Amino acid sequence: MGIGRLDIEQEANFQEMSFEQMLNKSFENSENNAIVGGVIVEINGDNVLVDVGQKIEGILNINEIKNEKGELLFNVGDTLSVMIMGNRGERPSISYRNVLQRQKFNSFVEKYGENFEDLVIEGKITEAKKRGGFTVVDKDGIEYFLPAAQSYMKPYGAVGKKIKAKVLKINKNQHFIVISRKKLVDDSKKDKEDKVSSILDTNSTLNGTVKKITSYGMFVDVNGIDGLVNYNEISYKGPVNPANYYKEGDEVSVKVLSYDKDKQHLSLSIKAALPDPWKEIKDELDVGDAITVTVSNFESYGAFVDLGNDIEGLLHISEISWNKNVKNPKELLNIGDEINVEVIELDVDKRKLRVSLKNLQEKPFSKFVKEHKVGDVVEGKVATITDFGAFVTVGDIDALLHNEEASWDSNVKCKALFKKGDAIKAKIIKIDTEKENVSISVKDTIDSPTVAFAKKHSINDIIKAPIKDIKDFGIFVVLENGIDGLIRTEDLGTLNANELKAGDEIEAVIVNIDTKKNRVRLSARKVETLKQRETLKSINDESGMTLGDILRDQIAQN
> pLDDT for 316-336, tens place per residue?
999 998 877 788 999 999 999
Cα–Cα distances in Å, from 11 out to 19, 85, 148, 169, 213?
Answer: 10, 17, 12, 15, 48
Given a cut of 80, is residue 193 above it in pLDDT?
no
Given a cut of 70, is residue 544 above it in pLDDT?
no
Q: Please state, as a whole number, how many other Cβ atoms lie within 10 Å of the Cβ of residue 158.
A: 18
Residue-by-residue DSSP string for 519-542 = EEEEESHHHHHHHHHHHHHHHHHH
Residue 462, classed as helix, strand or coil, is strand
Among the four given CATH numbers 3.40.50.2000, 2.40.50.140, 3.50.30.30, 2.60.120.10, the one describing domain 364-445: 2.40.50.140
What distance in Å separates the CA atoms of residue 454 and residue 284, rounded to the nearest whole number?
A: 73
CATH code of 202-273, in short, is 2.40.50.140
> pLDDT for 273-298, tens place per residue?
888 888 888 888 999 999 999 999 99
Q: Does 206 or 402 have the greater pLDDT score?
A: 402
Given a cut of 60, is residue 20 above it in pLDDT?
no
Residue 466 pLDDT level (bands cut at 50, 70, 90):
very high
Q: Taking the domains of the chain in order of start, what are their residue ranges? A: 8-183, 202-273, 296-359, 364-445, 450-531
> pLDDT for 111-120, tens place per residue?
888 877 788 8
Which of 104-108, 303-307, 526-530, 549-553 is predicted most confidently? Answer: 303-307
Beta pairing, strands 519-523 & 484-488: parallel
> pLDDT for 125-174, tens place per residue?
888 876 678 888 988 888 888 888 888 887 777 888 998 998 888 887 77
What distance in Å separates the CA atoms of residue 327 and residue 517, rounded to the nearest whole number?
A: 39
| Secondary structure of 68-118 as H, E, C letters | CCCCECCCCCCEEEEEEEEEECCEEEEECHHHHHHHHHHHHHHHHCCCCCC
Please give the pLDDT value at position 388: 94
- pTM score above 0.95: no
What distance in Å separates the CA atoms of residue 541 and residue 175, rounded to the nearest whole number?
A: 156
Q: Name which CATH class applies to 296-359.
A: mainly beta
Please give the pLDDT value at position 345: 94
Given a cut of 70, is residue 253 above it in pLDDT?
yes
Please give the pLDDT value at position 1: 41
Please give the pLDDT value at position 143: 87
What integer is the mean pLDDT of 2-6? 37
* DSSP classification of residue 545: -
Please give the pLDDT value at position 23: 46
What distance in Å separates the CA atoms of residue 222 and residue 202, rounded to the nearest whole number?
A: 12
Q: Please state, as a whole number, how many other Cβ atoms lie within 10 Å of the Cβ of residue 277.
A: 18
Please give the pLDDT value at position 26: 43
Give, rounded to a whole angstrom, the gap between the first and last alpha carbons of the chain. Answer: 173
How far does Cα 466 stand from its chain's mean position? Answer: 67
> pLDDT > 70: what percent of the chain?
90
What distance in Å separates the CA atoms of residue 225 and residue 218, rounded to the nearest whole number?
A: 13
Could you confirm whether domain 450-531 is CATH 2.40.50.140? Answer: yes
Residue-averaged pLDDT of the chain: 84
Residue 332, classed as helix, strand or coil, is coil
What integer is the mean pLDDT of 389-409? 91
> pLDDT for 34-56, tens place per residue?
889 999 999 999 999 999 988 88
- The answer to whether 84 and 56 have CB atoms below 8 angstroms apart is no
Residue 33 contacts by C-beta under 8 Å, 6 or more apart in sequence?
A: 2, 4, 5, 83, 84, 85, 98, 175
Cα–Cα distances in Å, from 374 out to 114, 400, 429, 430, 434?
Answer: 105, 14, 5, 6, 15
- Two domains, one topology: 8-183 and 450-531: yes
Please give the pLDDT value at position 22: 47
Helix or strand (DSSP H, E) at 506: strand 505-514
What distance in Å separates the CA atoms of residue 8 and residue 14, rounded to the nearest whole number?
A: 11
To which CATH superfamily is domain 8-183 assigned?
Nucleic acid-binding proteins (2.40.50.140)
Entry field: residues in the chain = 558
What distance in Å separates the CA atoms of residue 267 and residue 256, rounded to the nearest whole number?
A: 6
> pLDDT for 352-382, tens place per residue?
999 999 999 888 899 899 999 999 999 999 9
- The answer to whether 68 and 36 have CB atoms below 8 angstroms apart is no
Cα–Cα distances in Å, from 134 out to 10, 11, 129, 475?
Answer: 14, 13, 6, 111
- The answer to whether 126 and 113 have CB atoms below 8 angstroms apart is no
> pLDDT > 90: what percent of the chain?
38
